[in-house]
């Protein structure tokens, strides 16, 4: 029987994605981590299998499924052994491309959405800047109206897929004096003159995900690059962030479950003082806490996803889910590494990778502190 909120059809999809991930992605995890990169062919292969467009309309090449299909994909990608690969794919499926479907013209959908679902065009999301992350209202990148289009100037940083992207869903100021009413969205090609990948950042974790600093110097884009209406970008990107946070939470807590399972298996194998370490009360209780916290956090993710699937916009629950999964995942990863002891700290064992990768969720897509502010305000504080 399918586990709530999923159906038998979701379970069938899960088996299909799992078979792909375990046979075509996971075997390359060590190689890709060492290179701090993975091939673009991952996108085209996933597009070929239909995994990049699970919940998108069939008329654009999507699968026509519901939102829970995205959750299944986010969860199963945690099995690939590399958080960076899973994150890069999530940026494509649930972060940079959804605004094109929701706010784009038919021409934009044909030009960008259709090849995004096949993996022919790889996308990144241009929000964060050196001096503006969660504070979207204070971004400094500008788009100035000129004859026939816009001229964009500015910088973006910590951009996942930034080096490999063919196109960007970009947030820019179109009216400096209008506050959040002066922000607009654009969809632009990275081969436009004036665009440059300034550098690729080296990180503690998520090594396979290219994370770049981008610059825009008098980059001209045509009028039709505007995504949605001028001045509505703040509201439109705020909508996008909810999907980013929830799919990030779903993948993160499933990854934490993988860490728990690895620690549980090790606790049953590793012996000290004549018995498996899992038989020592201190380890048994640690594993009991890990199992409980993972289950609680996952159920909160499922509640939020169920509401989204039913047409709700549960900002409160999504914020709670992201906050809780981030804290639980980090705690579980740290306990798992402790249970593995010296082996956990050794680079030859993958447990350290999960430990490093799990830390990002508490920063990316809105920090823990921002999530607490949102929750506090929604509680009337």
Query: Catalytic residue positions?
Result: 244
DSSP 332-363: HHHHHHHHHTHHHHSTTSTHHHHHHHTTGGGT
Please write down the HEC assignment for all residues of 124-185.
Answer: EEECCECCECCCHHHCCCEEEEECCEEEEEEEEEEEECCCCCCEEEEEEECCHHHHHHHEEE
Query: Which pair of structure tokens corresponds to residue 323?
Result: 């906050």
Helix (H, G, I), strand (E, B) or coil at 219: strand
d(CA 191, CA 187): 12
Partnered with residue 169 across adjacent β-strands are 125, 187
8 Å CB contact between 180 and 234: yes
8 Å CB contact between 152 and 219: yes
CA angle at 305 for the pair 371 and 159, rounded to the nearest 5°: 55
8 Å CB contact between 201 and 360: no
b/e per residue, 276-303, with b = 16+ CB within 10 A? ebbeeeebeebbeebeebbeebbebbbb
Residue 96 CA neighbour count, 13 Å, CB half: 30
């Amino acid at each position: 029987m399918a586990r709530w909120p999923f159906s038998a059809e979701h379970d069938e999809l899960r088996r299909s994605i799992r078979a792909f991930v375990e046979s075509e992605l996971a075997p390359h995890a060590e190689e890709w981590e060492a290179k701090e990169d993975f091939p673009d062919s991952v996108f085209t292969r996933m597009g070929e299998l239909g995994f990049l467009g699970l919940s998108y309309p069939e008329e654009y090449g999507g699968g026509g499924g519901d939102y829970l299909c995205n959750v299944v994909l986010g969860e199963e990608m945690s099995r690939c052994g590399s958080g960076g690969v899973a994150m890069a794919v999530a940026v494509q499926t649930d972060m940079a491309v959804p605004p094109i479907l929701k706010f784009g013209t038919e021409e934009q959908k044909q030009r960008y959405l259709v090849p995004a679902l096949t993996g022919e065009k790889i996308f990144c999301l241009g929000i964060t800047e050196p001096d503006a992350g969660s504070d979207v209202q204070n971004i400094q990148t500008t788009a100035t109206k000129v004859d026939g289009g816009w001229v964009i100037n500015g910088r973006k940083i910590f951009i996942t897929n930034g080096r490999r992207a063919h196109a960007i869903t970009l947030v820019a100021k179109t009216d400096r004096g209008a506050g959040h009413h002066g922000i607009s969205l654009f969809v632009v090609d990275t081969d436009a003159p004036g665009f440059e990948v300034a550098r690729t950042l080296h990180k503690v974790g998520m090594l396979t995900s290219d994370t770049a600093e981008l610059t825009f110097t008098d980059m001209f884009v045509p009028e039709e690059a505007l995504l949605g209406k001028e001045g509505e970008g703040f509201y439109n990107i705020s909508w996008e962030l909810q999907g980013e946070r929830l799919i990030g939470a779903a993948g993160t807590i499933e990854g934490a479950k993988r860490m728990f399972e690895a620690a549980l298996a090790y606790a049953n194998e590793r012996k000290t003082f004549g018995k498996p370490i899992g038989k020592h009360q201190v380890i048994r209780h640690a594993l009991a806490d890990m199992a409980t916290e993972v289950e609680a956090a996952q159920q909160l993710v499922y509640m939020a996803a169920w509401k989204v699937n039913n047409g709700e916009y549960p900002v409160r629950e999504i914020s709670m889910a992201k906050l809780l999964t981030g804290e639980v995942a980090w705690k579980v990863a740290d306990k798992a590494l402790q249970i593995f002891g010296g082996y956990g700290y050794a680079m030859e064992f993958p447990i350290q990778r999960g430990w490093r990768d799990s830390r990002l969720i508490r920063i990316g897509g809105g920090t823990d502190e921002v999530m607490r502010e949102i929750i506090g305000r929604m509680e009337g504080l």
